[in-house]
Amino acid sequence: MGYERENIRRMAGYTPGEQPDGDQVIKLNTNENPHPPSPKVMTTLKAIEAETLRRYPSPTAATFLAAAASYHALAPDQLVATNGGDELLRLAITTFVEPGQPIGIAAPSYSLYPVLADIHGSPVHAVELADDWSVPETFAEQMNAAGAPLTLLVNPHAPSGRLTPQREIAAIASALNGVLLVDEAYVDFADPGHDVTGLVQHHDNLLILRTLSKGYSLAGLRLGYGIGCRGLIAPMAIKTRDSYSVDAVADAVGAAAIEDQRYARQTWQSVRAERERVITALRERNFQVPDSQANFCLARLPANAARPARDIQEGLRQEGILIRHFDTDRLADCLRISIGTTEQNTRLLQRLWEWMC
């Protein structure tokens, strides 16, 4: 006999990317940073004492929050620290959406969004992106017409890597009646110059998601944060956020990571260089690959490919090379490839060419 709520019984749940055991696999399926965390992170981790673990952590992750606020030139009460970026998504839904109200998304997008909407008992109002993965000009208008109190927009877009520029984000925020959450999980890998954090000073409905999982090589730590005006941050930080959701280890290690910008930026630049090399190589083999500002690319197979994308993905998997395939109409002939090290990318390309024949 089942005891779960009816909407939970009906929903499918989130399917994460495969997480294999061992270090012999070339793992290019979950958009992790291929470089290790900052040496300062490891030094901080080793210095954590038993007494730190015995006691409850800072309720607000104060050490990390101060470091992040300094980095963004904002006040600490304009940020909230969370257990990964996913907790911020759940917080935003819990705080700003009445159960049953629609949650707006662009489609396709991060597959966790509909799952969180299902858990909350809210329908999803999805607006299809254009053929080039750009946001339609009527996006905000359609969300307002649907009555969506919260709209989720990942930027750079997943899975294409396309970047919506700052001026378009500002225009969408200005036109929306509800809250706009811009999910910037991959923004650290964008070319220098793009920054929408300053917009929170002018748009009281703009909430920005950041995470240390990607850019700072801390996916295993689970630490993220939200940026917004005080009116958006306060109810999440004070009312709906789980107690002690960021542990003492994440508080200390996260601060060390975000303070070591020199190291972080070196890894970002390395990923950008490899990203361009991989995209160029794919295009030379007639893959259709949009420009990417993330640490992955989306490669549509050539029309004359000998095998479908699903078979190629599975064949590479059997060889210990993991990439991602999404079984949806717009993505069925595409492969999403995380950018790895030079050696990993070279191996992936070599085997991919052979599977294409």
* pLDDT of res. 48: 98
* pLDDT of res. 357: 73
Domain 20-36+262-356 = CATH 3.20.20.70: no
The DSSP output letter for 29 is: S
CA separation, residue 74 to residues 71, 149, 206, 228, 274 (Å): 8, 26, 15, 10, 32
* pLDDT of res. 213: 98
Alpha carbon distance 159, 135 (integer Å): 14
pTM for the model: 0.95
Q: Please, are residues 67 and 264 in contact by the beta-carbon 8 Å criterion?
A: no
CA angle 265, 153, 84 (to 5 degrees): 55
Query: Bridge partners of 153?
Result: 182
Q: 135: helix, coil or strand?
A: coil
The phi, psi pair for 9, rounded to 5°, reads -60, -35
| Annotated domain spans of the chain | 20-36+262-356, 39-259
Overall size of the chain counted in residues:
357
Q: Please, are residues 293 and 194 in contact by the beta-carbon 8 Å criterion?
A: yes
* pLDDT of res. 3: 82
Query: Which residues of the chain fall below pLDDT 50?
Result: none
Q: Please, are residues 109 and 298 in contact by the beta-carbon 8 Å criterion?
A: no
- What secondary structure does DSSP assign to 207-247, as a single string? EEEEESSSTTS-TTT--EEEE--HHHHHHIIIIISPTT-S-
* pLDDT of res. 306: 87
* pLDDT of res. 208: 98
Task: Give the number of C-alpha atoms closer than 13 A to the C-alpha of residue 119, restricted to the C-beta side.
Answer: 12
* pLDDT of res. 15: 73
CATH code reported for the domain at 39-259: 3.40.640.10
